[in-house]
Amino acid sequence: MSIKSSSLDDGNVVVLEPKGSLIGGSETDELKNILSAQLELGKVKVIVDLADVSYLNSSAIGILTVAHASFQAKGGKMILCNLNKNISNIFLVTKLSTIFLSEDKREDAILAIGK
């Protein structure tokens, strides 16, 4: 997996675009490493666009949860966007939808992260 990364708002907002399934292998490790690197660089506003993610398991949810808490602890935000129906249902059933900020569209996530 290759996670596309781009910057917005003069580099203050990072958008990550993972692809495929996040099921605990090298692709999930890559996501963890990229999220950790952003934090180390002082980038505390991150949008994770899940439009091209077909599935994620508990390992990926764990990485997203730790990252979410880490960004919040540094005064930042992590917003998820473009969740497909299955991923959205996972977040609803596990009640993680009450913890994570998520938006239907990337444009809405960009607006929300600036607030």
- Distance between CA atoms of 104 and 109, rounded to whole angstroms? 8
Contact criterion met (CB below 8 Å) for 53 and 85: no
CATH number for domain 4-113, candidates 3.30.750.24, 3.20.20.70, 3.40.50.10260, 3.10.450.50 = 3.30.750.24
Answer yes or no: pTM beyond 0.75: yes
Q: Counting Cβ atoms within 10 Å, is residue 13 exposed (0-12), middle (13-18) or buried (19+)?
A: buried
Question: Among candidates 80, 82, 90, which has minimal Cα distance to 112?
Answer: 80
- Residue 11's pLDDT is 80
Strand segments, DSSP code E, in the chain are 4-8, 13-17, 19-22, 45-49, 52-56, 77-81, 101-103
Report DSSP state, residue 18: -
Q: And the tokens for 71?
A: 């960004």
Question: Tens of pLDDT along 12-60?
Answer: 899 999 999 999 888 899 999 999 999 999 999 999 999 999 999 999 9
- Residue 1's pLDDT is 55
- Distance between CA atoms of 29 and 114, rounded to whole angstroms? 28
Cα radius of gyration rounded to whole Å, the chain: 13
- Residue 2's pLDDT is 75
